[in-house]
Amino acid sequence: MKIKVTDREGNKHELEGDTNSTLMEILRDANLDIEAACGGCCACATCHVYIKDEWLDKISGKDDDEESMLDQAFDVKHTSRLSCQISLSEDLDGIEIELAPE
Amino acid sequence: MIEKTDVIVIGAGPVGLFAIFELGLLNITCHVIDNLDKPGGQCAELYPEKPIYDIPSRVKITGQQLTDDLLAQAKPFNPVYHLNQQVEKIAKLETNEWIVETSNNKKLQAKCIVIAAGAGSFVPRKIPIANLDNLDGKKILYAVRNKSLLENKKILIVGGGDSALDWTNELSKIADVTLMHRRKEFRAAPDSVSKMLELENDKKINFLLGQIDNIVESKNDKLKVTVKNNDEKIDLEVDYLLPFFGLKMELGPIANWGLNLDENLIKVDTEKFETSVSSIFAIGDINAYPGKLKLILSGFHEAALMAQQCFKYCYPDKKNVFRYTTSSKDLHKKLNS
């Protein structure tokens, strides 16, 4: 499955995803500039991404934990998600995302 | 005044705390320095309530429980904690001992330094807008050090956690406070939230829904903060901006100590976990070696081996007799005292 990422400089990357990983893990392992300080336990907001609108419905919704961690992020939009909380599935093949400001 | 000890441990996370124990077994005393206001590092700061499943013999333990137990385990060895401060400088004496100076101007002298700093020290997350550095600490305050500075001023506090709400409630007594948050739900303690809502109701503070869009310094020493809420933007003129977006981790001054680094990690050998500078060790998430796994478990192992080498620096003329804790009379005496 493919993941299309726009980084903070506007460069586009196409990454290979797999259904055993979270979105954060794919971004981190591709050495994109994503801190993911807590390692994926939804305890920081350093894996903040924007999901392209048309993909939002395909992803399971935010829980309270994620919503409250997003309070520590900058420029939160309705498309904001913490990428560690998104488990990849075949439905998400081709998903387009953008890295949020650090 | 310079305080003397055997070993200075930098970082009071799980691995730093266990290092006190392992060093203590060899009669090596420790002082521990941490930038947070409490021991526990990431375990206590980021995920105190979250379960950890890979600590041997602990089927499930929270970050806070693990911290509390490690503190209890280290206690018989009387470690001295220096919290709320960061190590700024180190220098080597002619005796080969180290002098460590903290951001609180505390000076410590020791034979060895053990860096157990995890991903670095926790510092406030700053607003990711370019060219704000000159306002940092002057008009944009990430921590309040001197409340009287804010008396009768117009202040914008941003955030929804404990720091934002506590300062809103506290500063409402002396200043004109607006609290801004991206939603009208707060992760702060319920008591602080109800206090804040009460103050808002009594018009003692203003609450504003929105996020920071831009900040510029305006004339007459004020800040113009552009605030957006969905597509709507407004400008606010304030004396001080207090953003509270949690903490992040930074390697900080350690990067300038002349140690061999691998990106932001400190290279060590896997026999003694010593860095490229003798008598400086690095254990836990901050070190790098072939096959390194960033696990608390690995840090514990590294602490035990590091202690063996520290013994040689601390007691160069003594033989280190290997003893199990189960049969060590010395240790039993300490634990029972």
* Chain A residues close to B246, C-beta within 8 Å: 44-45, 72
**Kind and range of the H or E element at B167?**
helix B162-171
The rounded distance, in Å, linking the Cα atoms of A76 and A83 is: 13
* Chain B residues close to A101, C-beta within 8 Å: 128
pLDDT tens, B82-120?
Answer: 999 999 999 999 999 999 999 999 999 999 999 999 988
Give the per-residue pLDDT at A49.
97
Instruction: Show the domain range for A41.
Output: 2-99
Give the per-residue pLDDT at B84.
94
Tokens representing residue A41 in the block? 């336990």
Of B199, B201, B138, B208, residue with least CA distance to B171: B199
Q: Provide the angle, in degrees to the nearest 10, between the axes of the packed helices B14-25 and B63-74.
A: 20
Q: Is the pLDDT of residue B9 over 80?
A: yes
Q: Is the pLDDT of residue B337 over 70?
A: no
B181–A71 C-beta distance less than 8 A: yes
| Mean of the per-residue pLDDT values of chain A | 93
Asked whether the beta carbons of B187 and B164 are under 8 A apart, the reply is: no
Q: Is the pLDDT of residue B290 over 90?
A: yes
Give this prediction's pTM: 0.83
Sign of CA dihedral B155, B161, B163, B169: positive
* Closest-CA distance of chain A to residue B336, Å: 38
B119–A41 C-beta distance less than 8 A: no
**CB pairs A-B closer than 8 Å:** 51
Is beta strand B206-209 parallel, antiparallel or unpaired with respect to B176-181? parallel
Q: Average of pLDDT values for B118-127?
A: 89
Q: Output the domain CATH number for residue A69.
A: 3.10.20.30
pLDDT tens, A60-70?
Answer: 899 999 999 99
Asked whether the beta carbons of B268 and B184 are under 8 A apart, the reply is: no
Most A CBs within 10 Å, among B157, B182, B225, to test the A interface: B182
What is the layout of strands, in order, in the sheet containing B154-158? B206-209, B176-181, B154-158, B240-243
Q: Residue B249 — pLDDT band, cuts 50, 70, 90?
A: confident
Give the per-residue pLDDT at B121.
85
B2 Cβ contact partners less than 8 Å away, ≥ 6 residues apart? B99, B107, B108, B109
Give the per-residue pLDDT at B139.
95
Q: Is the pLDDT of residue B205 over 70?
A: yes
Give the per-residue pLDDT at B122.
85
The rounded distance, in Å, linking the Cα atoms of B165 and A21 is: 36
Domain count, chain A: 1
Q: For A44, which of B46, B127, B159 is closest by C-beta distance?
A: B46
* Closest-CA distance of chain A to residue B188, Å: 10
pLDDT tens, B131-160?
Answer: 898 999 999 999 888 899 999 999 999 999
Give the per-residue pLDDT at A87.
95
Q: For B159, which of A41, A71, A101 is closest by C-beta distance?
A: A71
Assess A63–B contact: CB distance below 8 Å, yes or no: no
Q: Is the pLDDT of residue B323 over 80?
A: yes
Of B151, B158, B154, residue with least CA distance to B240: B154
Q: Residue B207 — pLDDT band, cuts 50, 70, 90?
A: very high
Q: Average of pLDDT values for B263-273?
A: 94
Q: Is the pLDDT of residue B2 over 80?
A: yes
* Chain A residues close to B286, C-beta within 8 Å: none
CA A47 to chain centre: 6
* Closest-approach residue (CA) in chain A for B45: A43
Q: How many CB atoms lie within 10 A of CB B132?
A: 17
* Closest-approach residue (CA) in chain A for B118: A37
pLDDT tens, A3-40?
Answer: 999 999 999 999 999 999 999 999 999 999 998 888 88
Specify burial of residue B162 (Cβ count, 10 A radius: 0-12, 13-18, 19+): middle
Cα atoms in the Cβ-side hemisphere of radius 13 Å centred on B190: 0
The rounded distance, in Å, linking the Cα atoms of B103 and A44 is: 26
Interface of A with B in 41-60 (CB under 8 A): 41, 43-46
Q: CA–CA distance from B233 to each of A93, B225, B236 (Å)?
A: 36, 10, 10
Q: Is the pLDDT of residue B264 over 90?
A: no
| Residue with token string 């620096």 | B313
Tokens representing residue B161 in the block? 């956690």
The rounded distance, in Å, linking the Cα atoms of B42 and B63 is: 8
Residues of chain B with pLDDT > 90, as a percent, come to: 82
Give the per-residue pLDDT at B232.
92
* Closest-approach residue (CA) in chain A for B211: A75
Q: Average of pLDDT values for B211-217?
A: 94
pLDDT tens, A33-43?
Answer: 998 888 888 88
Show the 3-state SS of B49-70.
CCEECCECCECCEEHHHHHHHH
* Chain B residues close to A45, C-beta within 8 Å: 245-246
Residues of chain B with pLDDT > 70, as a percent, come to: 100
Is beta strand B280-282 parallel, antiparallel or unpaired with respect to B112-115? parallel
Most A CBs within 10 Å, among B60, B125, B263, to test the A interface: B125
B214 Cβ contact partners less than 8 Å away, ≥ 6 residues apart? B129, B225, B226
Q: Average of pLDDT values for B63-87?
A: 96
